């Protein structure tokens, strides 16, 4: 009886240890089995076209709504499973859908060819100069002299950006310092002060900001159509204008013009779409 108690206690400890290990493996195998049944896999792909650039093509899984954008070489990777459909969209290409099958899922890299979005127009002749639309022929026929610009004349500051009307008005209203000190005199810039007090300067500042916001909005629409935004972010197409208005009202919206990076713009829109839908501004 002296050795029975320690022996029983040892058996219980060993049994609990093996039982815990067994439960862990059962749980692990169950999770692994569930993952295997899901069949999800990271698919690598390459978009190509003979003549055009293949960067910044939007790749969207229509089933999972997961999205990605091709890099400078046209490469991308996205999680898919059998039965999913990938949609590739870009302004310069026709939209293409790719159904994921078992053979495609087993490929190391899937190659996708995109077709240029070419709009064929009927031949027309513009009178009174009988223009044909062929630049070389029309230039020879018209006999135009080369256009003289500040750049062709190598004038100073020829490469400076031309200011918009709003920017010129703001510069005129807010020009100079409030007070100028000279050797024997002091002058006050009453023009600048009056514009500040009357709100004229603030009005022009708002105009410049509005122009910048509209420029960014045009850039977004150029890169991604409203239909693409609606499908990608699960927003009714009728509400896309409201979504863009919501983005434009954010203080950091104009910063997108400085990055000019398609991936960053897409991530920004994706983040704002979540906020937009949760704000109860979307109407079905």
Q: What domains, with CATH codes, occur in the chain?
A: 41-113 (2.60.40.10), 224-284 (no CATH)
Q: Which residue is associated with the tokens 């501004």?
A: 281
pLDDT of residue 71: 87
Bridge partners for 78 per DSSP: 43
CA angle 37, 41, 44 (to 5 degrees): 160
Reply yes or no on whether the pLDDT at 7 is more than 50. Answer: no
| Close Cβ partners of 267 (under 8 Å, ≥ 6 residues apart) | none
pLDDT of residue 152: 65
Taking the C-alpha atoms of residue 163 and residue 160, their distance in angstroms, rounded to an integer, is: 9
**Phi and psi dihedrals of 142, rounded to 5?**
-75, -25
pTM for the full predicted model: 0.50
Per-residue three-class SS string for the chain: CCCHHHHHHHHHHHHHHHHHHHHHHHHHHHHHHHHHHHCCEEEEEEEECCCCCCCCCEEEECCCCCEEECCCCCEEEEEECCCCEEEEEECCEEEEEEECCHHHHCCCCEEEECCECCCCCCCCCECCCCECCCHHHHHHHHCCCCCCCCCCCCCCCCCCCCCCHHHHHHHHHCCCCCEEECCCCEEECHHHHHHHHHCHHHHHHHHHHHHHHHHHHHHHHHHCCHHHHHHHHCCCHHHHHHHHHHHHCCCCHHHHHHHCCHHHHHHHHHHHHHHHHHCCCCCC
Taking the C-alpha atoms of residue 40 and residue 111, their distance in angstroms, rounded to an integer, is: 19
Average pLDDT of the residues in 244-250: 85
Reply yes or no on whether the pLDDT at 235 is more than 70. Answer: yes
Average pLDDT of the residues in 41-60: 87
What mean pLDDT value characterizes the chain? 75
pLDDT tier, 200 (very low <50, low <70, confident <90, very high otherwise): confident
pLDDT tier, 35 (very low <50, low <70, confident <90, very high otherwise): very low
Query: Are 231 and 88 contacting, i.e. CB atoms less than 8 angstroms apart?
Result: no
Average pLDDT of the residues in 225-252: 86
């Amino acid at each position: 009886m002296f050795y029975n108690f320690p022996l029983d206690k040892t058996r219980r400890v060993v049994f609990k240890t093996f039982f815990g290990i067994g439960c862990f493996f059962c749980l692990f195998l169950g999770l692994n089995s569930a993952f295997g049944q899901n069949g999800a896999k990271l698919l690598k792909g390459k978009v190509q076209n003979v003549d055009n650039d293949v960067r910044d093509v939007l790749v969207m899984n229509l089933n999972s709504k997961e999205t990605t954008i091709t890099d400078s070489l046209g490469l991308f990777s996205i999680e898919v499973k059998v039965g999913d459909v990938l949609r590739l969209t870009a302004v310069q290409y026709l939209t293409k859908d790719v159904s994921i099958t078992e053979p495609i899922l087993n490929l190391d890299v899937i190659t996708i060819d995109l077709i240029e979005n070419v709009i064929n127009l009927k031949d027309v002749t513009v009178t009174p100069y009988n223009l044909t639309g062929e630049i070389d022929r029309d230039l020879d026929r018209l006999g135009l002299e080369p256009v003289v610009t500040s750049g062709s004349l190598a004038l100073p500051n020829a490469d400076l950006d031309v200011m918009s009307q709003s920017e010129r008005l703001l510069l005129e209203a807010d020009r100079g310092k409030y007070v100028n000190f000279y050797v024997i005199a002091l002058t006050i810039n009453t023009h600048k002060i009056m514009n500040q007090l009357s709100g004229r300067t603030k009005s022009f500042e708002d105009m410049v900001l509005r122009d910048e916001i509209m420029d960014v909005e045009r850039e977004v629409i150029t890169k991604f159509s409203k239909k693409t935004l609606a499908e990608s972010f699960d927003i009714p197409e009728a509400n896309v204008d409201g979504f863009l208005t919501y983005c434009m009202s954010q203080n950091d919206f104009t910063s997108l013009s400085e990055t000019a990076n398609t991936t960053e713009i897409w991530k920004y829109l994706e983040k704002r779409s979540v906020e937009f839908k949760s704000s109860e501004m979307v109407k079905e």
